[in-house]
Amino acid sequence: MIGTTLKTSKSEEIFAAAQKLMPGGVSSPVRAFRSVGGNPIVFDRVQGAYVWDVDGNQYIDYVGSWGPAICGHSHPDVIKALHEALEKGTSFGAPCMLENVLAEMVIDAVPSVEMVRFVNSGTEACMSVLRLMRAFTGREKLIKFEGCYHGHADMFLVKAGSGVATLGLPDSPGVPSSVASNTLTAPFNNLEAVKILFEENPDQIAGVILEPIVGNAGFIPPDAGFLAGLRELTREHKALLVFDEVMTGFRIAYGGVQEKFGITPDLTTLGKVIGGGLPVGAYGGRKDIMAMVAPAGPMYQAGTLSGNPLAMTAGIKTLELLRQPGTYEQLEQITKRLIDGLLQIARDAGHAACGGNISGMFGLFFTEGPVHNFEDAKKSDVNKFKGFHRGMLEQGIYLAPSQFEAGFTSLAHTDADIDRTLEAARTVMGQI
């Protein structure tokens, strides 16, 4: 049995109060510990590869605020730039030069993006891009993949990943069936299923949206030829291909999955990393499509705080740090050491395990694998994961509190951090 040596009395107290104030005590369901047991740890501060809770415990962090903290939390350059930007005010509600700077950086980096619109979250980026897909094609239906998460807008809450998958929820009440019926789903990595959907719905499908590397059903990379096959199928049926790179953008490579795999979609959504820890989302793509967006064109989409100067500043600084030579090699090297080590330790302890990484994004399932889609991912022994998560937490390692979430490293994680993590895993894998 895993010990309960961790002192969490302050966390418990704050969370008990939070539960009376906010549904489930959290501002986002993925932060709750429902699927791993116990109560969430309440954070006090974050720095580099580490987080500290309100009881003074320190953890090595593999969540990184769910992705944005790719340079390490509170990077001094980002904090300094934010201090300077703060002196000029917190919000303009008018054009600001910083928007040009970040837009240019995104356009230079991401192959599909010729023009970009900034919003405040990944959810907003995805719901706006869907409106744009429909406006441009004049078609209403959409294909998404089981276990992929594209934020919580109605039309994406069909067989969705992330918290929906973690909590084992059916499609959410409150989503009108008339809306959900326009969302068609296929298993990830299954081109044949997509082909059939196109054949069954001729001239009705606006496009296909996917996480080109899945992170919201656990970590699932695309099979060879899958992305290229989708590119071909969408072209053939005059539908749009949209990569939701909210998680993978500037994480897998500076230009995202589309640069790494050499497949260029028509439109792309971004978030997480481009906000450098502040709330930012973006969507962009071909100029002729983006020209539909108001006020250039008729498709309406707006935002009081969009292009916020503080958020732009954090994004710009973060991308400046990431575009230095060697950053993605460093992320790959450290993350591969971590996941190879974890898999070896799991197998040595007699557990079925599979997983992998691409750059600073990784995942581990307690099943023989291989995992090609959400059905495969669900074969993972979630009870074992629960024991693993709790044990690692006790050892000072903070992992996402769900089997169905990818893990993240940062440029601040050192070999010593990986050593300590693997040492903790040796103890815990032997106990579960």
Ligand X SMILES: *Cc1c(COP(=O)(O)O)cnc(C)c1O
* Residues engaged in binding ligand X (CB under 6 A): 121-123, 126, 149-151, 211, 215-216, 244, 246-247, 271, 281
Task: Please indicate whether residue 61 is annotated as part of the active site.
Answer: no
Task: Please indicate whether residue 244 is annotated as part of the active site.
Answer: yes
Residue nearest to ligand X (CB): 122
3-state secondary structure the chain: CCCCCCCCHHHHHHHHHHHHHCHHHCCCHHHCCCCCCCCCCCEEEEEECEEEECCCCEEEECCHHHCCCCCCECCHHHHHHHHHHHCCCCCCCCCCHHHHHHHHHHHHHCCCCCEEEEECCHHHHHHHHHHHHHHHHCCCEEEEECCCCCCCCHHHCCCCCCHHHHCCCCCCCCCCHHHHCCEEEECCCCHHHHHHHHHHCCCCEEEEEECCCECECECECCCCCHHHHHHHHHHHCCCEEEEECCCCECCCECCHHHHHHCCCCCEEEECHHHHCCCCCEEEEECHHHHCCECCCCCECCCCCCCCCHHHHHHHHHHHHHHCCCCHHHHHHHHHHHHHHHHHHHHHHCCCCCEEEEECCEEEEECCCCCCCCHHHHCCCCHHHHHHHHHHHHHCCEECCCCCCCCEECCCCCCHHHHHHHHHHHHHHHCCC
Cα–chain-centroid distance for residue 338?
19
Q: Kindly tell me which of 242 and 354 has the beta carbon lying closer to ligand X.
A: 242
Q: Kindly tell me which of 276 and 387 has the beta carbon lying closer to ligand X.
A: 276
Q: Kindly tell me which of 247 and 397 has the beta carbon lying closer to ligand X.
A: 247
Select which of 144, 272, 384, 386 is catalytic: 272
Q: Kindly tell me which of 82 and 257 has the beta carbon lying closer to ligand X.
A: 257
State the Cα–Cα distance between residues 283 and 135, nearest whole angstrom: 15
Task: Please indicate whether residue 376 is annotated as part of the active site.
Answer: no
CB of 21 to ligand X, least distance (A): 21
Select which of 59, 149, 254, 398 is catalytic: 149
CB of 122 to ligand X, least distance (A): 2
CB of 136 to ligand X, least distance (A): 20
| Those residues with Cβ within 8 angstroms of residue 284's Cβ, 6 or more apart along the chain or in another chain | 106, 107, 110, 112, 113, 114, 115, 116, 117, 267, 268, 270, 290
CB of 211 to ligand X, least distance (A): 5
Phi-psi region of 272 (alpha: psi -120 to 50; beta: other; left: phi over 0): left
Q: Kindly tell me which of 154 and 417 has the beta carbon lying closer to ligand X.
A: 154
Q: Kindly tell me which of 281 and 407 has the beta carbon lying closer to ligand X.
A: 281
CB of 20 to ligand X, least distance (A): 25
Q: Kindly tell me which of 264 and 269 has the beta carbon lying closer to ligand X.
A: 269
CB of 63 to ligand X, least distance (A): 12
State the Cα–Cα distance between residues 302 and 295, nearest whole angstrom: 10
Q: Kindly tell me which of 209 and 428 has the beta carbon lying closer to ligand X.
A: 209
CB of 49 to ligand X, least distance (A): 21
CB of 149 to ligand X, least distance (A): 5
Select which of 154, 244, 266, 376 is catalytic: 244
Question: Directed axis angle between helix 76-86 and helix 309-322, to 10°?
Answer: 150
Positions marked active-site: 149, 244, 272
